[in-house]
Amino acid sequence: MEKVDVAVIGAGVVGLFTGLELGSRGYTVAVIDKAQEPMTGVSSRSANVIHLIQPPFNSLKSRLCVEGNMLHRRLHKELGYRLIETRLLLAYTSRAKTPLAVLTAKLLPRLVPGGRVKTRILTGRTARDMEPGLSDRVQGAIEVRGYAIVDPASMAGALASRVRGYGELLLGSKVEAAEARGSRVILEAGGLRVSARLVVNAGGLESHVVAKMFGDSYTQEAWKGVMSIHPQPRLRSIVAPLEARRGETKGGGAIPQANGALLLGPNNAGPSRPGDYTYTSRDLEWLRSRFQPLLQEEIQEPVRVVVGHRPVAPGRDFLVEWGSTGRVIHLIGIESPGLTAAPALARMVASMARARGIL
């Protein structure tokens, strides 16, 4: 039997950062995943953006997005994963949108938690000087600094090797049962038995299934998002159309990737079945028609299409809660911006455990 202070179920970005956070505080950790490699779940199908603006602004995901954004800037240097600084340009091609731009640029710094958002209104010409990939038809844009792009492969490698330094990364080990015994929980994971003082359920799309093993009931849906990857045009900034938002994003951005490609999306194709990676030509046409008007060069045919599923909880916010045994913390509904928020979620878990006196 493996005996540790903390067992984390799930070696996605959230589970790895959690293992790392607790390991760096001196606790022994085991991060367990059924997959043979780390970060093969939802985390392998993201747009790789370190966000800053996440509506609705009174949500937990919005607050943790801002905190995670700050933490990534320090952690990428300490841990050695690749992070490229960039900006978001909310661009528009119709002058009629200028009043909306002025209002949005004024409101965003007040609405986004933490007071870190700085906006600037750019004329079409200044925006093109900054981002030569913008179309001549762009009349203006709001610049939001403080965005970044990460390279997921370097992140997976860096986090996994640090976690191994603090304890165990048990891959190919599906957690199938959990039993509370006194001050410990015993997990059955692919022929292994792991005994822990604290369990963190970071099971992504299956965290509600994992919660059931602890007698806790949650509902979670898998919302499909389609992204197309194009060789050209190359951008320096994340470009998205300025639109009046009512709480949630509609279609992502034109996003430069760490490898130089351009990612469009993700769209929001609604609830789906996890594992259903199908998409239609309508998804691709919709993405192209959303971003082409803002870009000067023609968007080339996609070289790849990536479909992911966001784990969505009924309130459309992250749920970070103690389970009924008092020995497990469940992370449910870790949809976007979970990649951004992961180091902040890890800190939140650590302070919850400390506040209960478990660690």
Ligand X SMILES: Cc1cc2nc3c(=O)[nH]c(=O)nc-3n(C[C@H](O)[C@H](O)[C@H](O)COP(=O)(O)OP(=O)(O)OC[C@H]3O[C@@H](n4cnc5c(N)ncnc54)[C@H](O)[C@@H]3O)c2cc1C
Q: Which of 7, 42, 262, 348 binds ligand X (CB under 6 A)?
A: 42
Q: Which of 22, 88, 329, 334 binds ligand X (CB under 6 A)?
A: 334
Q: Which of 155, 235, 339, 346 binds ligand X (CB under 6 A)?
A: 339
Q: Please state, in angstroms and rounded to a whole number, the distance separating the CA atoms of residues 124 and 31.
A: 49
**In the bound complex, what is the minimum distance in angstroms from residue 133's beta carbon to ligand X?**
19
Which parts of 252-311 interact with ligand X (CB under 6 A)?
266, 308-310
Q: Which stretch binds ligand X (CB under 6 A): 29-37, 76-84, 85-93, 109-117?
A: 29-37
Kind of pairing between the strands at 49-50 and 140-150: antiparallel
Which CB sits closer to ligand X, 106 or 273?
Answer: 273
Q: Which of 6, 29, 48, 269 binds ligand X (CB under 6 A)?
A: 48
Per CB under 6 A, 228 contacts ligand X: no
Residue, CB closest to ligand X: 338
By three-state DSSP, how is residue 333 classified? Answer: coil
* CA separation, residue 147 to residues 38, 85, 239 (Å): 25, 6, 11
Which parts of 201-220 interact with ligand X (CB under 6 A)?
202-206, 210
* Residue 212: partners with Cβ closer than 8 Å, 6 or more residues away: none
Amino acid code (one letter) for 107: L
Amino acid code (one letter) for 253: G
Contact between 174 and 190 (Cβ < 8 Å): yes
Q: Two tokens at 45? A: 């199908």
Amino acid code (one letter) for 334: I
Q: Which of 6, 22, 32, 235 binds ligand X (CB under 6 A)?
A: 32
**In the bound complex, what is the minimum distance in angstroms from residue 189's beta carbon to ligand X?**
7
Which CB sits closer to ligand X, 158 or 202?
Answer: 202
Which CB sits closer to ligand X, 138 or 287?
Answer: 287
Please report where in the chains the tokens 């320090």 appear, as a residue. Answer: 74
Which CB sits closer to ligand X, 140 or 308?
Answer: 308
Contact between 37 and 171 (Cβ < 8 Å): yes
**In the bound complex, what is the minimum distance in angstroms from residue 180's beta carbon to ligand X?**
17
By three-state DSSP, how is residue 12 classified? Answer: coil
Q: Please state, in angstroms and rounded to a whole number, the distance separating the CA atoms of residues 310 and 321.
A: 19
Which CB sits closer to ligand X, 61 or 97?
Answer: 61
Burial environment of residue 75 by CB neighbours within 10 A (0 to 12, 13 to 18, 19 or more): buried
Let me know how long the chain is: 359
Per CB under 6 A, 12 contacts ligand X: yes
Q: Which stretch binds ligand X (CB under 6 A): 37-45, 236-244, 282-290, 320-328?
A: 37-45
Q: Please state, in angstroms and rounded to a whole number, the distance separating the CA atoms of residues 229 and 106.
A: 33
# chain residues binding ligand X, by CB under 6 A:
42
Per CB under 6 A, 8 contacts ligand X: no
Q: Which stretch binds ligand X (CB under 6 A): 39-47, 102-110, 120-128, 228-236?
A: 39-47
Q: Please state, in angstroms and rounded to a whole number, the distance separating the CA atoms of residues 56 and 176.
A: 36
Query: Interface with ligand X by CB under 6 A: which residues?
Result: 9-15, 32-35, 40-43, 45-49, 51, 174-175, 202-206, 210, 225, 227, 266, 308-310, 334-340
